[in-house]
Amino acid sequence: MSPEDMFVEKLHCPVGESHCILFDEVTTLRKQVVTDPLTGLFNVRHFRKSLEHELERTRRTGMTTALIMVDLDHFKNINDTWGHESGNQVLQTVAQLLQDQTRKLDICCRYGGEEFAVILPSTELMLARQVAERCLNALRETVIPLDETDLQVTASIGVAVADNSAQTAESLIENADECMYEAKRGGRNQVVSKRPQPSESAVSADERDALRGLFGDD
């Protein structure tokens, strides 16, 4: 989902036709508040709000929320070699690609600079990983036509999930970011995913003690 989809329905002015210009202006402003102007994706402010919202759903229903962090590889080289405007074109292409490769209910955001985040509501790790692999492959195969050259870019992608009430937005972002950095360290152009750690699981301290009693400490 993008801000465009979110405001796609023509809303009806609640106070009558004569005030519709004002109503349209308010809708435009509301859209601007959640949008990254360069890419048209949701901005980081909306990302944080949506992630909190989805984690609240995870707490209530136990349904997993997945997070994919996408960081372009050697993006500085593109700016340095082909100029900032070409860099911007690359960011716009990647933004469109992420939207094309994800579901309507997934929330595609620009997290900052050349980093993107996709929230996948009610999604298990295995499926989120498949989506991430699909994005990686699509990116690898995409040729971006610039004025002076045709470019291909790759990304390092981290995937993590929240599956219980203990997980905060910060810890989920941290986990997905850690995976993304591991992908960078592993040579870039790859996906790394992470299961929730046992300490982050729904198993209580008492339950853990009982399990230790049964199976020992190893």
Ligand X SMILES: Nc1nc2c(ncn2[C@@H]2O[C@H](COP(=O)(O)OP(=O)(O)OP(=O)(O)O)[C@@H](O)[C@H]2O)c(=O)[nH]1
> Which residue out of 114, 141, 170, 207 is catalytically annotated?
114
Considering the complex, what minimum distance in angstroms separates the CB of residue 44 from ligand X?
A: 12
Q: Evaluate whether 7 touches 30 at the Cβ level (below 8 Å).
A: yes
Question: H/E element holding 68?
Answer: strand 65-72
Residue 29-68 contact track with ligand X, rule CB under 6 A, x = bound: ---------x------------------------------
Q: How far apart are CA 23 and CA 153, in angstroms?
A: 41
Amino acid at 149: T
Please indicate whether residue 114 is annotated as part of the active site: yes
- The two beta strands, 155-162 and 190-194, are parallel
SS3 (DSSP) at 128: helix
Residue 136-165 contact track with ligand X, rule CB under 6 A, x = bound: ------------------------------
Considering the complex, what minimum distance in angstroms separates the CB of residue 179 from ligand X?
A: 14
Tell me: does residue 201 bind ligand X (CB under 6 A): no
CA of residue 217 relative to chain centroid, distance: 37
Residue 186 backbone phi and psi in degrees, to 5: -80, 5
Tell me: does residue 81 bind ligand X (CB under 6 A): no
Q: Which is nearer to ligand X, 32 or 88 (CB)?
A: 88
Within 97-116, which residues bind ligand X (CB under 6 A)?
113-114
Look-up: residue for tokens 């996408």?
Answer: 70
List contacts with ligand X (CB under 6 A). Answer: 38, 71-76, 79, 84, 87-88, 91, 113-114, 184, 188
